[in-house]
Amino acid sequence: MAANDSATAALGQWCQTQRIADPPVIRALADKVELAPASAQVRETLGVSSEDLVRYRHVRLVCGTTVLSVAHNWYVPARLTPEMNRTLETSDTPFGKVVSPLGFRRERLATKRGAMPECPAGTVLSHRAVLRLADGRAISLVVECYTPANLSSANLSAD
C-alpha cells in the first residue's frame, strides 16, 4: 500500500492479482451512522479552522465480499468539487477514486504493524496519512486498517 498515493488503487491491484473477485472492483461500504467530529488535532493536520466544515466517512473497502480494509476519513468538502462531494455522500465509490482527478499526493504520517487505536481487532497493518493537493493544502486525513485478507510479504511492507 505504501508505494501508492491511492490506497484504493493498491487494493484494486491486490484484488486483481489475488483473483479475489471478478471484476476486481473496490467498493466503499459506508457506515452512515457513526460520526467522529474532527478534533483540534485533525483540524490542525488538515489546515482548517474550527469554523471550517470537515466531514467524516467511515467505510469498509471490499472487493467482492472480502473486506480488505476499514478506513476512517476526515475530509474538507470545500476543497473538493460539488460533484465529488455528492458522489461521496451518495455512492459506494472509494474516496481515492472520487478525488483522483485532483492529482493528490499521499503523505504518510505513521505506519504500524497491527492496529492503531482507531482500528478494529485483527488489523494486520495500519496507516495514518494526509492527502494533499499540488499546492500543499490537505484534503483528507485518513486512518487505514488493513485486514488479514492482505497478508503477503510484499503487500505488508511498511516502507
1-20, pLDDT tens digit by residue? 444 567 777 777 877 887 87
- Cα distances from 31 to residues 11, 52, 93, 111, 152, in angstroms, run 20, 23, 13, 24, 28
The pLDDT assigned to 2 comes to 45
Give pLDDT, residue 5. 62
What pLDDT is stored for residue 48 in this prediction? 98
pLDDT at 151: 72
Domain ranges of the chain: 7-150
Q: Residues with Cβ < 8 Å from 157, sequence gap 6 or more?
A: 2, 3
Q: Is the pTM of this model over 0.75?
A: yes
The class that CATH gives domain 7-150 is: alpha beta
Q: Extract the C-alpha cell encoding 22.
A: 471478478
User: pLDDT per residue over 108-134, tens digit each?
Assistant: 999 999 999 999 999 999 999 999 999
What mean pLDDT is predicted for residues 128-155? Answer: 86
Question: What pLDDT sits at residue 155?
Answer: 41
pLDDT at position 137 over 80:
yes
Report the pLDDT value the prediction gives residue 7, as an integer from 0 to 100.
Answer: 72
Is the pLDDT assigned to residue 46 strictly greater than 80? yes
Report the Cα 103 to chain-centroid distance in Å: 15
Q: Which of 23, 92, 95 is nearest to 64 (CA)?
A: 23
Task: Please say if the pLDDT value at position 22 is more than 80.
Answer: yes
- Which pLDDT score, from 0 to 100, does residue 89 have? 93
pLDDT at residue 4, rounded to an integer: 59
**What sign for the dihedral angle of Cα 121, 140, 32, 65?**
negative
